Amino acid sequence: MAWRSSGATNEALIENLARHGLITSSRVKQAMLGVDRAHYAPSSPYQDSPQSIGHAATISAPHMHAAAAESLLPFLKPGSKVLDVGSGSGYLTHVLAELVKPGGRVVGVEHIQPLVELGTRNTRKSEEGRELMDAGGIRYVKGDGRLGWAEDAPYDAIHVGAAARDVHPALVEQLKAPGRLFIPVQEGNYQHIYVIDKKEDGSVTRKKEYGVQYVPLTDAPKD
Ligand code: SAH
């Protein structure tokens, strides 16, 4: 299914994802058309598959990035604040920033310094990316994403790009009311996406969705 959506260009990839029902929102489609995956994936950027980016990290498959953006979409408006935990290549961080401009802000938190730098470098490859970074629409920071990023909290939306052992409480705390957290959770040998909503009255609901395969959210490697 996923592989059928590959294309020869960024546009072909995104059009194929839409044709196969893996992107259903026109806003997500526009945002993904606006970010060339070749700036973020070191090889086969227009294939609908994950790719290694070094440091045991991968850029997720385009259909997974689409699914994450679509899930968070009700909370991604001009001016929204977003946290992207495990920003890795920076691809989704940039797509999320496209979805909250003008006036929005996305913080990408990574625990590996060379990946903080990779995300920054990749985003600066395009004019739109440079503009977003220069205006503060995207910021990459080094930290343990299990603790969120308190400095810019609370967030309308939080995306976690690595499989957590737990729905880390700091992430729920740093959500606005209303706000949404998209997080893959490791349960035994399996991982599932959980969508955690904080309602306007502060109550929290969690919904278990589909099975996935992400790299784990871990302790930082020793420098
Ligand atoms: N969204 C990224 C996913 C990269 S893979 C992309 O598509 O490019 C998952 C990332 O999570 C890796 O870059 C890894 O370094 C990072 N990571 C793992 N544990 C982490 C932690 N505790 N804090 C912050 N980042 C973490």
Residues 20-66: tens digit of each pLDDT: 999 999 999 999 999 999 999 999 999 999 999 999 999 999 999 99
The residue among 200, 161, 140, 141 whose CA lies nearest residue 61 is 161
Burial of 43 (0-12, 13-18, 19+ CB in 10 A): exposed
Cβ < 6 Å from ligand 1: which residues?
55, 57-60, 85-89, 91-92, 109-112, 115, 144-146, 161-162, 215, 217-218
What's the average model confidence in pLDDT over 177-204? Answer: 97
Q: Could you tell me which residues are beta bridge partners of residue 160? A: 85
Q: How far is CA 65 from the centre of its chain?
A: 6
User: What percentage of residues in the chain have a pLDDT greater than 70?
Assistant: 98
Provide the CA 212 distance to its chain's centre, in angstroms.
15
Domains of the chain (ranges; CATH) run: 50-212 (3.40.50.150)
60 is catalytic: yes
**By three-state DSSP, how is residue 183 classified?**
strand
